[in-house]
């Protein structure tokens, strides 16, 4: 007698079970992707901060050896109106001392002529930068973070015809955005009685300032910033999009010099002046050299950051209302103690300071 094994029916997923499984997987992915992206951004931000620290340490060592901070051209020269058009940046200037490359001319092949104006230029051999062949030796940029901004695939440096600054490499942060370097003009020794004593669009007036916007105009005027190709410039017709609070065009509402004061001024002590103009200006700089990364959003002081909404004024670091010079109410913490606020903390920008 033959025994027959019972036939087993293999049951598959029902449509409902399949849809539930897909939904669960989608939810898990939706949770994990932002978390992983956030972790990557955090790691990159830490890498950018470490990079700023390395450059800061190299600058301090240069100061110890040479009794001056790096920067082949002076802050006044870098802030000239000519340089606003030439686009030669503050970081490119300090790299001439830290990474070297300066040679005798003429400009041909890999040798280029760069500088903030026609009367102040130097010849640089691109192949010698970061070697011991032509000065430097204080900082050797990594190839992946030292890239010329002369190609839409990596970003464009804004110039008004002189393309040499575009051929000179720029130091990029971990988000592939150029790092800015703001250097204090040590010849500006007058008391800070108004914003113009602290920061100006460009040098050339009778009274110098501590800092000049034109020293980094090449990256604040471009409409193709870094590898992500952002546009930091401001115009009333494009006010609703993201822009930089220190980009070109930010000169009326909102106000460029006020935003630069927040970036470059020390948030520790209010100005001891006794008039409203002085009290609304910094009393000192954050440092003699301020290294500045745009951070995660790849935009210097982005209008979309929490600090980009409404008016941004330096006096808001210390006072409840605009100071007038008498009986001004200071900001207090929960226990009633006077405190100061660093308004730059409202942005994702990263900075490193050198000197006092």
The alpha carbon dihedral of 310, 313, 315, 321 has a sign of negative
Residue 257 confidence class, pLDDT cut points 50, 70, 90: very high
Confidence of residue 89 (pLDDT cuts 50, 70, 90): very high
Closest CA to 170 of 53, 69, 89: 89
- Which regions of the chain does DSSP assign to beta strands (E)? 102-103, 111-117, 120-125, 146-147, 150-151, 155-156, 170-171, 180-183, 199-200, 211-212, 289-293, 350-354
Percent of the chain scoring above 90 in pLDDT: 73
pLDDT at 10: 55
Q: C-alpha angle with apex 314: 309 to 316, nearest 5 degrees?
A: 70
pLDDT tens sequence across 156-192: 999 987 789 999 999 999 999 999 999 999 999 999 9
For residue 283, tell me if it sits in a domain: yes
State the angle between helix axes of 90-98 and 15-66 in degrees (0 to 180), rounded to the nearest 10. Answer: 60
What does the mean pLDDT of the chain come to?
90
In a domain, 5, yes or no: no
Q: Which residues contact 180 (CB under 8 A, 6 or more apart)?
A: 89, 90, 91, 216, 219, 291, 292, 293, 300
Q: Confirm whether 24 is domain-assigned.
A: no
**Which of 244, 112, 297 is closest to 235 using CA atoms?**
244
| pLDDT at res. 273 | 85
Q: What is the pLDDT of residue 293?
A: 98
Average pLDDT over residues 60-75: 97
| pLDDT of 8 higher than 60 | no
- Give the model's pLDDT for residue 98: 96
What was the pLDDT predicted at 60?
97
pLDDT at 249: 93
Peptide linkage before 18 cis (omega within 30 of 0): no
- Residue 223 inside a domain? The answer is yes
258 in Cβ contact with 195 (< 8 Å):
yes
pLDDT at 5 over 60: no
Residue 9 pLDDT greater than 60, yes or no: no
Q: Does residue 324 surpass a pLDDT of 90?
A: no
* 1 domain residue, yes or no: no
Q: Do the domain assignments include residue 175?
A: yes
Residue 172, domain extent: 46-354
Task: Using the predicted structure, report yes or no on whether residue 314 has a pLDDT greater than 60.
Answer: yes
pLDDT in the model for residue 22: 78
Q: Which of 118-122, 304-308, 334-338, 341-345 shows the lowest mean pLDDT across its residues?
A: 304-308
Is the pLDDT at 212 greater than 90, yes or no? yes
Q: What is the pLDDT of residue 11?
A: 59
Predicted local confidence at residue 200, as pLDDT: 96
> 71, 78 in Cβ contact below 8 A?
yes
Q: Which residue has the higher pLDDT, 36 or 326?
A: 326
Indicate if the alpha-carbon torsion angle 104, 106, 111, 114 is positive or negative: positive
The answer to whether residue 7 scores a pLDDT higher than 60 is no
Structure confidence at residue 325 as a pLDDT band (50, 70, 90)? confident
In a domain, 8, yes or no: no
Which pLDDT value is given to residue 253? 60
**6 — pLDDT class (breaks 50, 70, 90):** low
- When pLDDT is averaged across residues 88-93 and rounded to a whole number, the result is 98
Say which residue the tokens 């006044």 belong to: 76
Tell me if 35 is assigned to some domain.
no
With cut-offs at 50, 70 and 90, classify the pLDDT of residue 13. Answer: low
pLDDT confidence of residue 23? 74
How many folded domains does the chain comprise? Answer: 1
Q: What pLDDT score was predicted for residue 48?
A: 96
- Predicted confidence at residue 36, as pLDDT, reads 56
Comparing 174 with 135, which gets the higher pLDDT?
Answer: 174
pLDDT-based confidence at residue 254 (cuts at 50, 70, 90): low
Q: For 123, phi and psi rounded to 5 degrees?
A: -90, 135
- Given a cut of 90, whether residue 263 has pLDDT beyond it is yes
């Amino acid at each position: 007698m033959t025994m027959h094994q019972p036939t087993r029916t293999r049951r598959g997923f029902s449509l409902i079970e399949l849809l539930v499984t897909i939904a669960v997987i989608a939810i898990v992915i939706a949770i994990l992707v932002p978390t992983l992206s956030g972790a990557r951004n955090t790691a990159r931000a830490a890498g950018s901060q470490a990079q700023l620290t390395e450059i800061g340490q190299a600058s301090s060592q240069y100061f110890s050896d040479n009794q001056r901070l790096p920067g082949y051209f002076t802050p006044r020269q870098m802030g000239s109106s000519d340089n606003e058009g030439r686009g030669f940046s503050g970081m490119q200037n300090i790299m001439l001392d830290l990474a070297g490359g300066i040679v005798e001319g003429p400009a041909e092949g890999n040798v280029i002529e760069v500088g903030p104006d026609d009367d102040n230029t130097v010849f640089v051999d691109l192949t010698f930068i970061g070697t011991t062949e032509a000065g430097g030796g204080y900082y050797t940029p990594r190839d992946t973070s030292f890239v010329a901004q002369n190609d839409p695939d990596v970003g464009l440096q804004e110039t008004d015809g002189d393309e040499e600054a575009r051929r000179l490499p720029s130091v990029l942060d971990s988000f592939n955005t150029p790092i800015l370097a703001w250097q204090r003009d040590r010849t500006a020794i007058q008391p800070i009685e108004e914003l113009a004593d602290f920061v100006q669009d460009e040098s050339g007036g009778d009274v110098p300032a501590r800092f000049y916007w034109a020293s980094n105009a090449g990256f604040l005027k471009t409409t193709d910033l870094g590898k992500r190709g952002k546009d930091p410039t401001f115009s009333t017709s494009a006010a609703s999009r993201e822009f930089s609070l220190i980009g070109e065009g930010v000169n009326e509402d909102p106000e460029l010099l006020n935003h630069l004061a927040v970036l470059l001024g020390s948030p520790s002590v209010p100005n001891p002046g006794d008039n409203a103009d002085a009290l609304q200006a910094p009393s000192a700089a954050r440092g003699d050299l301020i290294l500045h990364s745009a951070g995660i959003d790849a935009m210097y002081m982005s209008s979309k950051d929490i600090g980009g909404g409404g008016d941004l004024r330096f006096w808001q670091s210390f006072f409840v209302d605009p100071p007038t010079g008498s009986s001004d109410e200071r900001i207090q913490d929960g226990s009633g103690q006077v405190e100061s606020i660093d308004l730059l903390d409202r942005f994702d920008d990263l900075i490193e300071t050198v000197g006092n």
